[in-house]
Amino acid sequence: MNLIVCENYEEVSQKAFEIMKEIVASKPNATLGLATGSSPIGLYKKMVEDHQKHNTSYEAITSFNLDEYVGLSKDHPESYYSFMYHNLFDHINIKEENIHLPQGNGELEQRCNEYEAEIAKYVVDIQLLGVGRNGHIGFNEPGTPFTQTTHIVTLDDKTIQDNARFFNNNVNEVPTQAITMGIATIMKAKKVLLIASGENKAEAIYNLVHGEIREECPVTVLQKHADVVVIVDKAAASNLK
């Protein structure tokens, strides 16, 4: 595991951008696994600026997102679909048909199977991850078997509390379920890039680096992956030995 500790969020975003850019520049038809949430916003901003300034092309890039809430329509402002278009896809030249986001409505089991089958046609060159305070990756909450592929989850209370900030600070507005790539799906990526900032991630980062590998803390599974880069700020690194 390659651990990079940065001064602050800006530096985390810059370092993550350099890794992402290296892949997009060296492999124009790369497959990117993408994440939502607060963590990647700075990175996406840098990808957009770079595309505008240097014409970095996403024309042949394919993307797969990690997860989506169940029951929100695509055009809901807090759907991960809206998030991705607003923060990235609307501002780069990725082709609509190369964008894949799990869909959290309709026949859910079929949605999971179709998404997993679609990803299986590709090799994800780099999977971007944030991490939950409780160690979740994607929406794989504590206790999720490491063998799990794309599935429907019931969100943990901590996750609902943390995400209430996007839903008028009202836990009752946060969807209680999500569709997520499974841990087995995530682990198939060639490279994993995990970014985290802030003290509330310190325990999860401690577990990732020093903790025992266990399903109760999903992020620890990354210790078994051959190519993981972890980029954190000082606050998220504050529990490390």
Least separation in angstroms between CB 155 and ligand F6R: 10
Of 130 and 182, which has the nearer Cβ to ligand F6R? Answer: 130
Least separation in angstroms between CB 157 and ligand F6R: 14
Backbone angles phi, psi at 13, to 5 degrees: -65, -40
Closest residue to ligand F6R, judged by C-beta, is: 130
Of 39 and 62, which has the nearer Cβ to ligand F6R? Answer: 39
Of 59 and 173, which has the nearer Cβ to ligand F6R? Answer: 173
Residue 37, sorted as left (phi over 0), alpha (psi -120 to 50) or beta, turns out to be: left
Q: Residue 2 forms beta bridges with which residues?
A: 229
Active site residues: 67, 134, 136, 141
Of 31 and 39, which has the nearer Cβ to ligand F6R? Answer: 39
Please state, in angstroms and rounded to a whole number, the distance separating the CA atoms of residues 127 and 163.
22
Least separation in angstroms between CB 122 and ligand F6R: 18
Please state, in angstroms and rounded to a whole number, the distance separating the CA atoms of residues 2 and 66.
22
Of 32 and 137, which has the nearer Cβ to ligand F6R? Answer: 137
Least separation in angstroms between CB 53 and ligand F6R: 26
Least separation in angstroms between CB 194 and ligand F6R: 9
In terms of Cα–Cα distance, which of 35, 36, 37, 46 is closest to 11?
46
Q: Counting beta carbons within 10 angstroms of the beta carbon of residue 146, is it exposed (0 to 12), middle (13 to 18) or buried (19 or more)?
A: middle
Q: Residue 180 forms beta bridges with which residues?
A: 67, 151
List residues binding ligand F6R (CB under 6 A).
Answer: 35-39, 66-67, 130-132, 136-139
